[in-house]
Amino acid sequence: MSTNPTLAIVQEPPVFLNLKASVDAAETHIRKAADGGANIIAFAECWLPGYPIWLDFAPDAALWDDDGAKALYRILAENSVVQGDEHLKRLQALADDTGTYIVMGSHERAGNTLYNTTFTFSPGADAPAPHRKLIPTYTERLVWGMGDGSTLAAVETPFGTLGSLICWEHWMPLARAAMHARGEAIHIAQWPIVKDMHQVASRHYAFEGRCAVAAAGSVMTKADILSGFRSLGVDAPKAEAMLKSMPGDENTLIHDGGSAIIAADGSYITDPLYGEAGILYGTVDMTRQREACLTLDTDGHYSRPDVFELRVNTKAQTGVRFTDD
């Protein structure tokens, strides 16, 4: 196996809100990326089964007790993964079969709360490693709960440590410091779209962490959104009306991608792809990446532990604990 990993980003639309159909689509994309030589395959934020795009574009998404918003939340909850379920097992089997590492952005349901969760699948693992987004951004708090330090982790690969953060977590300096301390060689930065400031954050992360970064975004037209919803065959006219209320016609590109692969010096290995679907590939030169650490190692020779100290609580936070007498 080469010590220089090939990264792939799947910039394709999911079957919006349809979990099973999106897993079917993911399998096709994963096998294609693996056949294309990818060792690590990344998807965008909440690709499974689609970013809750109505939060950004539907005018009534944040109204109290809105029937459409409630219906969309219910449908999303019914199409979210649960740890240990058949959908995650199927993706784990794909990692085993293809010998690839798969980093999948997902909606995860635990109890009656939804989380924005990245699952990292390693070949031969018993189960994927989850990372729940620590702080849902702005209107995202209408649908997601907060993660905790118990899932701020990374996995080991033959190419070095593989980690990830989600969207605006890349503007949390202490989260970045914690992940840099994990010794990431490869980092997956998941976004709904990788617009200009997201490119800045992803390139900064690569330079600061001296790691390769796959900045993963998605593409979706309004037609993709509505056809995905209709594929469910559910009777939820208020939910469909909210999706229809987003501006533009069915050909309007609501999410326009921007995925890119970035070297440890902040330069592009693979330039951003906007406005179209596809799979991006890029091979990381690990020799050059190691050389970049001569001048900067934020968890080593460029740190000042005598001045600054960060403590990370990795204990799961629960509101109720049952103990025996």
Over the stretch 276-296, which tens digit does the pLDDT of each residue have? Answer: 999 999 999 999 888 999 999
* Banded pLDDT at 9 (limits 50, 70, 90): very high
* Banded pLDDT at 1 (limits 50, 70, 90): very low
45 noted as active-site residue: yes
Residues facing 108 on adjacent strands: 81, 115
Question: From the candidates 12, 108, 133, 211, which is the catalytic residue?
Answer: 133
Provide the 10 A C-beta neighbour count for residue 256. Answer: 18
133 noted as active-site residue: yes
Give CA torsion, residues 250, 252, 254, 257, to 10 deg. 120
Is 297 within 8 Å of 208 (Cβ atoms)? Answer: no
CA–CA separation, 199 vs 266, rounded Å?
A: 10
* Banded pLDDT at 153 (limits 50, 70, 90): confident
Q: CA separation (Å) from 275 to 4, 11, 188, 196?
A: 29, 10, 21, 14
CA–CA separation, 100 vs 279, rounded Å?
A: 15
DSSP class of 61: T
CA–CA separation, 22 vs 47, rounded Å?
A: 8
Residue 325: its pLDDT value, please? 60
* Banded pLDDT at 252 (limits 50, 70, 90): very high
* Banded pLDDT at 2 (limits 50, 70, 90): low
Peptide bond into 49 cis (omega under 30): yes
Question: From the candidates 45, 108, 169, 184, which is the catalytic residue?
Answer: 45
Over the stretch 91-112, which tens digit does the pLDDT of each residue have? Answer: 999 999 999 999 999 999 999 9
Which residue has 């010096």 as its token pair?
Answer: 265
Indicate the average pLDDT of the chain. 96
Going along the chain from its start, the domains and CATH numbers come out as: 6-292 (3.60.110.10)
27 noted as active-site residue: no
Question: From the candidates 12, 46, 108, 167, which is the catalytic residue?
Answer: 167
Provide the 10 A C-beta neighbour count for residue 181. Answer: 16
> Quick one: tokens of 131?
């990372």
Q: Angle at the Cα of 274 (from 210 to 72), degrees rounded to 5?
A: 100
Residue 126 pLDDT > 90: yes
